[in-house]
Copies of this chain bind each other. A is one copy, B any other.
Amino acid sequence: MNSAIKICVVGLGRAGNFHLHSIKLLNQFELIYVVDTNEKLAQSVAEEYGCKWSVQLEDVLKDDALDAVVVASPTDAHFDYIRLALQAGKHVFTEKPVGHSVNEIQTCFKLAQENNKALHLGFQRRVDKNFVALKQRLAELGDYRIVKASSRDNPKPSYDYLKISGNIFHDMVIHDFDMLMFLFGALAPESVHAIGHAYDTTIASFNDYDTVLVNIKFQNGMVCSIDTSRTAAYGYDQRIEVFGEKGMMTVENERNTALNVYTKDGMSHEPYNHSFPERYKDAYLEELRQFLEGINTGLHTNVIEEECVLAHQLADAALESIQTNQTVNFSQFVAK
């Protein structure tokens, strides 16, 4: 048995809390620091979990006893925190994004390699049992021809969050781009097309969209359509369908309960899980467990650099497409 990995969580909002909970359940982590720029918050969380606290990650990184850092801060700070932690020789688990540019992403992966530390990305769908089952059986389909994914959030995130989230492509569709990487690897895109609308006038005022459709043609012929909405009246909706030469595989939504009700109005069952924390409850635990396993086995990352960069570029290209009303030629776009 390995001795406990001493860990710090930076960013104590919703994502931070998930990870604190997971750390508690996983015996092999020992939480020794929590960090948040909000001093009161840091202090009270530290009390609850019986650990030390700080408002500055740099201070904490000086502690040689610290092995690993979980980055769960607002996205603006991700790159800096990741960079500092890796430079200090700590393993890093981070929520997406790693950085706001290809350059930042590459810098982080390079630092992880140079320092021989883990850089683990929090793409929780990669460890969800349904998508894992899909990936395991995918090869039975022969060549992959059409991919359709729906990601519809619910309830709508707060405007405070949406204001600083960047845009729907980098904040939300990036998970679907990563799902493409997870399932198919870093295939070469030929063109990217995006259309959409902001039904919510506040979201429109941020020059953002709440409903988008992104279409990608890959050089091998595969076409892919991703639709995304910031809200779905019937609950959190996340599905994918892969159509290939020899058949089709779909991952449908998980049901909350297996209860069916039949009345004079027909058959019904209750809405889907109302938000991602319930939908991915098991996955949030599993991703931290895999981070731990990666540290113990020397595995550097769960997402290779090429895939991380490509997902980021697809989001860049989709944004370019919707803003110009043009199909983006991908290779010309990234060459710019």
Residues on B with beta carbons closer than 8 Å to the beta carbon of A252: 258, 260
| A 259-278 to B, binary, CB cutoff 8 A, 1 in contact else 0 | 11111111111110000000
- Scan residues 222-251 of chain A and give those whose CB is less than 8 A from a CB of chain B: 222-225, 227, 229, 232-235, 237, 243, 245-251
User: With A and B bound together, what is the CA distance between A196 and B222 in angstroms?
Assistant: 8
**A243 and B229 contact, CB distance less than 8 A:** yes
- Residue from B145, B148, B211, B270 in contact with A211 in the complex, judged by beta carbons closer than 8 Å: B145
| A 127-169 to B, binary, CB cutoff 8 A, 1 in contact else 0 | 0011001100100100101101010100000000000000000
Copies of the chain in the assembly: 4
User: With A and B bound together, what is the CA distance between A93 and B336 in angstroms?
Assistant: 55
**B145 and A197 contact, CB distance less than 8 A:** yes
How many residues in A have their beta carbons less than 8 Å from beta carbons of B? 68
Which of the 9-residue segments A98-106, A109-117, A325-333 touches chain B? A325-333
> Chain A interface (Cβ within 8 Å of chain B)?
25, 129-130, 133-134, 137, 140, 143, 145-146, 148, 150, 152, 191, 193, 195-197, 199, 211-213, 215, 217, 221-225, 227, 229, 232-235, 237, 243, 245-254, 256-271, 321, 325-327, 329
